[in-house]
Amino acid sequence: MKEITVTSFSFRRDKFFRDRDSYAEWWKISCVQCEQDILLDQKDEHGKLFRCYLNRIFAPTKYAELQNDKTMTVKKMPRFTCPKCNTLIGVPMFHREGRLAFKLIRENWVKYKLDEARAKEFKKDIG
């Protein structure tokens, strides 16, 4: 499998994207406690956000680069926490599709939909 370059900035158009009617959006995840911006995620298909798949995280690099580790397992994944207040945002999980993800804890985060220009700016800000 080809290593994904985190610096590229376009939707990942793979089988999961195609299986979901080739629809995707950019979402910014922020901590509800301290309002710290935490993550930039590609959400495929319409509907609620329950998990963030590793191969859909674009920023920060701490989480985005986990997808390139071929030996990554649920046990090796870090907990998804706010870097500012250390609030637990999500826990590692293995989805039935065979992908690693963070299962989000609903009351600890808030999401904002971004257009491509704002998503690029956000990625640059949180790196």
Q: How confident is the model at residue 10 (pLDDT cuts 50, 70, 90)?
A: low
Query: 57 - beta bridge partners?
Result: 41
User: What residue ranges do the domains of the chain occupy?
Assistant: 23-126
**Residue whose C-alpha is closest to residue 118's, from 24, 6, 28:** 28
- Predicted pLDDT at 15: 59
pLDDT at residue 120 tops 80: no
Q: Could you tell me which residues come within 8 angstroms of residue 88 by beta carbon, excluding any fewer than 6 positions away?
A: 79, 80, 81, 105, 108
- Residue with the larger pLDDT of the pair 49 and 80: 80
